[in-house]
Structure formats: C-alpha cells, structure tokens
Structure 1
Amino acid sequence: MIDTLRHLAAGHPTQLPEGLPLPRHGRCLVMGILNVTPDSFSDGGLHMGTRRAVAHGLRMAESGADLIDVGGESTRPGALPVPLHEERVRVAPVIRQLARAGVPVSVDTMHAEIARVAVEEGACLVNDVSGGLADPAMAATVAAAGVPYVAAHWRAPSREMDERAAYGDVVSEVTAELLDRVTGLVEAGVAPERVILDPGLGFAKRAGHDWRLLAGLHALREAGFPVLVGASRKRFIGAALERGGTPAPPPDERDAATAAVSALAAAAGAACVRVHDVRAGLHAVCMAAAWAAGGRAPTPA
C-alpha cells in the first residue's frame, strides 16, 4: 500500500498540490499564521475579533504570504479544547472576508465541522495538526470537499502530548506513523496527490527530537509527499538560543532564528514553511532558492 501511495503522490514532492490558487514561484511557499485566539503561545489575543484578524491577514498578504492559515483553537502544550461553536465564530467570518478579498486562505483545525464550514467560506486547504486522529470524521469531510490536506504527526491532545514524547529513532518512527495516517486517509477517500505531510515539530516531541526531524527532513520527502514545516517561534528554537545562563528569548523575539530554520528547511526541499513573520520568512526562502540556483536570481516573488 505504501509503495502505491508513493507512486500516486510522487512527481513534485517539493511543491504543494496543483489546484490551489497559488502562484508557482520556483521557491518554497510561505504560509502566514493568523491565530484568532486568546491563548496561543506567542501572539494570543493580538488578533482577536474579525476586524483585527482580517486586517492582520491582509498585512501578511501584502508582505508576501502565499497563504494565510486561520486558526481558532490554540494547540500549545497544555491548551484546553475550545467548543466548536466558539471556534466557528472565531474563524468563519475571517476566512470569508479574506477569501472575498482574493487572499488564499487555509484553516488550521482538528475538527471536521470547522473544516467543512471553512471550505464553504472560501478556504482552499485544511491544515490539521492531528492528521485526522482528533476527529474520525475529518478524512471523509476533506475527501468530500476535494481540497488539499496537511496531515501533521500527532500522538495526543495538547494537555497530554509531552507525556508521549518517547522515541527510539524519531525520524523513522514519525515517517512511519505519518504514512500510516496517509493509508487511513486514502482509504477514507482522500486523493493521495492532495496530501501534504508535516513532521509536527513540538507536538509530542522534545527539542532534540525536533532538530533530528529537521536534519532528517529528506526521509520524509522521500516518502513522495510535499512537506510543510511549522517551526515558527517554537520551544526548540528558544532552547537552541539559551546559552551560558542566558535564558531563552521569549517567542516574539525568535523570528530571526525562525527565518534561519525556514531557509534551511527550504534548502532541504520543504514545500512550505508556516511562520509568524512573513517578510522574514519570505526573505529566507528566497535565499534558499538563490542558493539552490547557484547564485542565479530566483523567479521574482
């Protein structure tokens, strides 16, 4: 089954699926993070309310984001679930207004009902940090919607995930678990060529696990699916900046380091990076594209 999936999905594993309303720049794409939440780990409360959220989404689009990822439920470690009604109230009007403004939008949700509503409002991609494990109806919903789907590696809800961060070989185990998820998604009707894989940095992983996954990104790419990397401002980046008694910088001071990780991920073949600071992320992936081209100028963004 896995060999069949690889055959069906292979061809352009460094690009997101065809059919998305996205330009093809010859570089890794940049997904801007738009958290419409009061409790996200680095920007909780900053973009609450439809007007503020839409304004920030438009600013990110103007800064060069290829896609705006709208989420209404925090998935930081220890976060509590949000009622479906509340999540819908947070994200649906934001997605609607951004889509009507011509901005490509994805929805960051673990819930099939929110995914369905988001697509109806104009979302062109579903980004699920649980890879379909949090809601058994997600796979069928995405299959019926016919949109691309990001399946992230996930082992447990936010309040439990740190307890599940135990691996022998994190790269091979994460890759195998993700491919098992792909098998389940395809059996539920999701087209394999619409699947994007995300190693789930920080989700049931310690800092060392995250770095080993990034260093082994080629293993995930060799599975034949495009790869999305969501490293922005996460704990493992802060831990790497902690030196000689100097504490890790707070999340909103990790954008330069995030850009470095984005450049490295893009150079390793990631199809998309998910970031808070869009301009820095765009510059990072453009440098990776120029490096890969041997110094020749990449296609202008």
Structure 2
Amino acid sequence: MKLLRHGDRGSEKPGLMHTDGTIRDLSGVVPDIAGDVLSDEGLSRLRDVDPSGLPVVDPSTRLGACVGGTGKFMCIGLNYADHAAESGMKVPSEPVLFMKASSAICGPNDPIIIPRGSEKTDWEVELAVIIGTKGKYISEADALRHVAGYAVANDVSERSFQAERQGQWTKGKSCDNFGQLGPWLVTRDEVADPQDLTMYCRVNGQTMQDGSTRTMVYGVAYLVSYLSQFFTLHPGDVISTGTPPGVGLGMKPPRYLKAGEVVELGIQGLGDQRQACVADD
C-alpha cells in the first residue's frame, strides 16, 4: 500500500494512493496514518478496505508528511562511504546519530525555506524508515518486523549553522521545512529489498545525486536494531538513513541553494518530491 496524508498543514487527513492513480480518503476508516494504524495488525485492516468505495480526493490537494505523530526524527550521518569522502570525513566506526526537530517535518512538495542569514542551504535525498511497532533491544534479525514502511526524505541542511556555529548539528538540520517526507509511506511488503533502491536529486533540472541504497555503510535492519539499544522506538518515529554523494557541500567549489531554484528528488518505488526554494521573510 501507498499511504499518505492530504490537506492543509496541521489538519491533514489520512488517505491512500489507489492502483487507478487516484487518491482516496481514509478519514472514515482511521483517524490518521499514525500510532496503532502503523502496526502489522493496523495495516492488515487497511488492506481489507476496498479503495474503490472510498471518496476520491481532488488531485490538486496538498500532500502532507506521509506519517503523523512522529515523536523522533532520527538521522544517520556519513552513512555512504563516498559521501563521507566528499565531506572530508572518515567512515564512522558506528552509526553517527543526530536528531532533526519534528517541527521541521513538512509535505513532500512544500517549499524549502532558506533561513535568514543562510548562505549554505544544501539538499540530501535519503531513504526514510518509518517505525510501525514499538520496540527496545531489537535484534537485527527481527528489526524489519518493526518497520511499517519506507518513504523519501529530503534532509535539508544549512551547512554553516551545522558546522560553523558551535555545538552539534541540530541547528543546521532543524530549520522550518527542512524535513520533506513523502509523498507516500510504502508499506514494507511492497519493498523487496530496502538495500537495493536507486535514488536521485536534481537542482534546476541538473542531476546532483545519482546513487543507490546498496552503498549504505549501515543497512536498515542494523540501524533499527542499533538505535533500539539506546531508547525505545515508537510507531511514527522516522529514521533518515543518510545520503549518497552529490551534495552541494562536496562540490568544488561548493554550490548551495538560492531562492527561486527548484529541487526534485526521488527513490525507486517510493515516489518523487518537488520543492521550490523561497527566502524566509
């Protein structure tokens, strides 16, 4: 299934993408794409629903982030060896974890808001893992059973805030609209191998990133297990698993986003995003 959330920001409704290409509203079936709906049992109940009997949503309706109720937006740094190299950093001996504020989460086509004073806003296409079942001390063998599904994420980053303003990376990762998520949550049964998905990012039509999850240092199952050793994972938590090479930081000279530019990104089978860059007022 391809689950989504549609409507104005802050009042999104649950929905799904029907096989006929229409968006269908799930408001009469579940309250949101969140919580227990993300469990295996909850997803099984949704599979029993006949989409053809659900209301059709106007295709011009805004899409929100594909999951609600996210308590933790966790990100893995330097998880592609070639991206670590372009960043001038070593491949870490264990996953590098940082957090993105949940207030940064937005819809897949919502604009990238370039913050005041920013000169180094950057793009990062990433595979997002969405937790469906609560767990702690999860074994790697059982890890994928705790996954509801996968989505495209843009881990937008302001590099000077991230690396030149003291402290850790949070300031450069958590600005408003720095976490586009969607268009859909694709349930794990429809993703045969999360470690074999092609991914891309274009700026103004020029390909910047052209990679594959095959080159991740730490795979999805390992990351779910690893993170659960430190804290409980809850339904709706998001793990953004790192980006392949081709970010603006790694170019010579570096190249960053400006108001008026357009970013497009996507992952095989998980859909595409498109964002206009706008200056914050």
Structure-1-length-normalised TM-score: 0.26
Task: Report which structure shows greater RCO (CA 8 Å, sep ≥6).
Answer: 2
Relative to its length, the structure with more helix (as a share) is 1
Structure-2-length-normalised TM-score: 0.28
Relative to its length, the structure with more strand (as a share) is 2
